[in-house]
Amino acid sequence: MKKIVLTPAQFRKLPRKEKAVLVAKDILAQIKAEKYAPETGSYGTIFTTNEVEGAELINENFDKISKCTVCAIGATIMSCTHLGNQLQFDDLQRYGAGEYYRDILYSNFRDNKTFKKLLTSVFTPKQILLIETSFEGYSSFLHKPASWFDGNHDDGDFKGIQNYDRVGQLYGAKLTFDEAYKCHVNYYMKFNTNEETLIAICKNVIKNNGNFKP
């Protein structure tokens, strides 16, 4: 069967869940092609050739990107624009020292309306926060001993996701203790590498027809 390739305009007209599935599949394809290198701790760094001009669309120059080190949300915004063609290289922070690279920053999601519009057209703020917490872990749990996760806990153990600078929280989402706990245990703690974690998240989105269910 011939693969159907959508134009960016066609992609943007799809229902949210269909876009989410396509974005998850694109992330998996970019990981397999070794273009995406999943990392925790930052949204992403995009390495490009010096042929790229700032005003050029990322989608139309995707072949000039040699590598992207990305978290789950960094990978999502890159694949959103790869398929939906909304961002320019100038929308990212630019640096140059032999090899050119641009950073995806928290301020991009906070201050750039195109970032927010593109990302929330694919995942709801709650979905974004669930994905972030599954990939990065939850701060209140990071220094707990392994034995702690075998006990019974409730909201009294939970300091609140609002203490995090997370994009989903920025857009108004919050998690309960149980939601954060499931994300942390079922994804952050379960897999040995960042790549395995992101692959599992993407497969979950595809399996659940565009929703992430940790």
Q: According to the 3-state scheme, what is the secondary structure of 86-133?
A: CCEHHHCEEEEECEEEEEECHHHHHHCHHHHHHHHCCCCHHHHHHHHH
In a domain, 36, yes or no: yes
pLDDT digits (tens, 9 = 90+) for 61-119: 888 888 999 999 999 999 999 998 788 888 887 665 545 778 888 888 889 888 889 89
In a domain, 51, yes or no: yes
In a domain, 213, yes or no: no
In a domain, 173, yes or no: yes
In a domain, 3, yes or no: no
In a domain, 39, yes or no: yes
- Total residues belonging to the chain: 214
Percent of the chain with pLDDT over 90: 39
Position 98 scores a pLDDT of 46
Position 80 scores a pLDDT of 92
In a domain, 212, yes or no: no
Range of the domain at 157: 8-207
Q: What dihedral angle (degrees, nearest 10) is formed by the CA atoms of 162, 168, 172, 178?
A: -60
Q: How many independent structural domains does the chain possess?
A: 1
Q: How far apart are the first and last CA of the chain?
A: 32
For residue 154, is pLDDT > 60?
Answer: no
Q: How confident is the model at residue 153 (pLDDT cuts 50, 70, 90)?
A: low
Average pLDDT over residues 173-182: 82
Average pLDDT over residues 115-138: 91
Query: What is the pTM for the complete model shown?
Result: 0.86
For residue 209, is pLDDT > 80?
Answer: yes
Distance (Å, whole) CA 95 – CA 117: 25
